[in-house]
Amino acid sequence: MASPNPIIDVRQVTKRFELKDQTIHALAETNLSISKGEFVCLIGASGCGKSTLLRIIAGFETPTSGEALMWGKAVSAPDPTRGMVFQDYALFPWLSVRENIAFGPNARGLPRTTVKDTVDRFIELVGLTKFANAYPHQLSGGMKQRVAIARVLANDAEVVLMDEPFGALDAMTRERLQDELLEIWQRTGLTVVFVTHSIEEAIFLSDRIVVMSPGPGRIESDNPLALSRPRDVSSPEFNEIRRVLGAKLHSHHGKKAA
């Protein structure tokens, strides 16, 4: 998947967490390069380092060795160009929907009228205009996650990093948000790195599926998907890919047990 000018380039990154009485090898040497506009899913069992890798790209964690680059520049700290969508939303509970989305533009000191226009646009994009003045505790999980997505987009993120964003939602809401996310992605040309443990979700969404395995966390295989969009989860092609990927995911489970 080597592209001449990747937006994200992870080079020989390793990560160890030193705890009191043990060292956890979260990531063995990992290389990953992502092109602009790609939709990449990281998938694997828990402990495979997929969230750690995402957090290193975000700048929340520093690699033990190696480096993550964005447009060739080393990632040293979180930055608005790489927006993060958390599984548990991490909205500011004291701010309304509108104020949550305005948080980033305000923090960057944009003029008031620009902020207002931007916020209006993204509230509408995620369909929450009627709830602009509601507080997070008054929203459903799906609505909260829409706010979290709008908040990142309103801040001009080029890369959206999503850490099991739909994991806590019910099946119907999840499907709807998957559709909406794809629509936004196709319209805006964003780059998305999406962590999930659901094979179906990964196949439905991504251009490329990076399968990771635990003990220590590493990339097992990198699978480009040639499936045309929109994708039909009940088509034979979809199920064939699901079967192949399922086998890959389970093979290292077997290895681990052996």
Residues 108-127 that bind another protein (CB under 8 A): 108, 125-127
Under the binding rule (CB under 8 A), the answer on residue 75 touching another protein is no
- Segment contacting another protein (CB under 8 A): 65-73, 113-121, 172-180, 193-201? 172-180
* Consecutive H or E run containing 54: helix 50-58
List, in order, residues 6 or more apart from 196 with CB less than 8 Å away.
41, 42, 43, 164, 166, 167, 202
Q: How far is CA 65 from CA 11, 82, 115, 210, 225, in A?
A: 9, 21, 39, 21, 31
Residue in the block written with tokens 């369909």: 127
Cα dihedral 101, 99, 173, 57 in deg (nearest 10): 40
Instruction: Tell me if 46 sits within 8 A of 27, measured CB to CB.
Output: no
Which member of 36, 60, 175, 251 binds another protein (CB under 8 A)?
60
Under the binding rule (CB under 8 A), the answer on residue 184 touching another protein is yes
Pairing of strands 23-34, 8-18: antiparallel
- Segment contacting another protein (CB under 8 A): 25-33, 131-139, 190-198, 214-222? 131-139
Under the binding rule (CB under 8 A), the answer on residue 92 touching another protein is yes
Under the binding rule (CB under 8 A), the answer on residue 59 touching another protein is yes
Which member of 13, 40, 56, 84 binds another protein (CB under 8 A)?
84
Least distance to another protein from the beta carbon of 223, Å?
28
Least distance to another protein from the beta carbon of 64, Å?
20
Q: How far is CA 234 from CA 43, 119, 230, in A?
A: 21, 37, 12
Under the binding rule (CB under 8 A), the answer on residue 171 touching another protein is no
> With CB under 8 A, what is the number of residues at the site for another protein?
48
Under the binding rule (CB under 8 A), the answer on residue 143 touching another protein is yes
Instruction: Tell me if 163 sits within 8 A of 195, measured CB to CB.
Output: yes
Least distance to another protein from the beta carbon of 156, Å?
10
| Angle between helices 97-107 and 112-125 in degrees, nearest 10 | 130
Under the binding rule (CB under 8 A), the answer on residue 170 touching another protein is no
Instruction: Tell me if 43 sits within 8 A of 250, measured CB to CB.
Output: no
Please give the residue ranges that form the binding site for another protein (CB under 8 A): 58-60, 77-80, 82-84, 86, 88, 90-96, 103-104, 107-108, 125-131, 134-140, 142-143, 146, 151-152, 155, 176, 179-180, 183-184
